[in-house]
Copies of this chain bind each other. A is one copy, B any other.
Amino acid sequence: MTSQPHPPDRSRLELLLVSNSTMHGGGYLEHCANEISDFLGDMRRVMFVPYALADHDAYERKARPAFEALGYELRSAHTYDDPRAALDDHDAVFIGGGNTFRLLAQLEATGLLDAVRARALAGMPYMGSSAGTNVATLSICTTNDMPIVQPRSFDGLQLVPFQINPHYLDPNPGSKHMGETREERILQFHEERDSPVLGLREGCMLRVRGSSMQLRGTTAARLMRRDAAAKEYTPPADLSFLLET
């Protein structure tokens, strides 16, 4: 984190950050298929990063058809001896969901954390879903996942200068469960750090192009800031202001 320029030049960023891979009752990436086509355009070769799940082969078998149906080739990072070098043979990168701690630890171990960051800042389209959306932000400090693996640091790719909480969940008014609600957990985050947190409900996503950021999809997002009332945004909405550091 300290070794990065402050702020980095984000003018060439092309990001698609999806809250969730699958909607209830739908197929894998089905709810964002049109967005993926629009985002990747005439790109061809997509590198898939499967590290958030344990079974990389199975994950590649799941992800490939969703991209092939849209006309893209997909190959998983784990099939290369040197995934960092292999990144250069691809036009775009997609980091899939799963456990965010496991994902980040593996991005660190493979050197992909730095390599993907450099390529994304240089303009390579980056798509993330769930954990893959989380790691694109300042840190994984607003993940919902269990800390099953310890990464060296909680710092993310820092492609955007705020936090995301994927799968954002409203309190269930009928619940008798006393564990913290999602919003309470994010309030606790703001007791420690002051970065804005964007709660992306299942069904919505962010499209970033340089200094522009749009909220898309079918559900609203909730923006939580330290010491301020939460704000709701319904897509389509312009959230470019969040890119200003």
Q: Which residues of A contact B (CB under 8 A)?
A: 20-25, 54, 98-99, 101-102, 140-150, 153-154, 167, 169, 176-180, 185-186, 188-189, 191-193, 202
Does B145 contact A150, Cβ atoms closer than 8 Å? no
Chain B residue numbers with a CB within 8 Å of A22 are 178
What are 30 inter-chain pairs, A to B, with CB distance below 8 A? Answer: A20-B179, A21-B178, A23-B178, A54-B188, A54-B191, A54-B192, A99-B185, A99-B188, A101-B147, A102-B188, A141-B146, A142-B146, A142-B148, A143-B146, A143-B147, A144-B146, A144-B180, A145-B180, A148-B185, A148-B188, A148-B189, A148-B191, A148-B192, A148-B193, A150-B153, A150-B154, A167-B177, A167-B178, A167-B179, A169-B179
In the complex, which residue of chain B has the Cβ closest to the Cβ of A197?
Answer: B146
Chain B residue numbers with a CB within 8 Å of A154 are 147, 150
Chain B residue numbers with a CB within 8 Å of A176 are 24-25
Chain B residue numbers with a CB within 8 Å of A54 are 188, 191-192
Copies of this polypeptide in the complex: 2
> Shortest distance in angstroms between A218's beta carbon and chain B's nearest beta carbon?
13
Chain B residue numbers with a CB within 8 Å of A146 are 141-144, 185-186, 188-189
Chain B residue numbers with a CB within 8 Å of A180 are 144-145
Q: Which of B24, B177, B185 contacts A169 (CB 8 A)?
A: B177
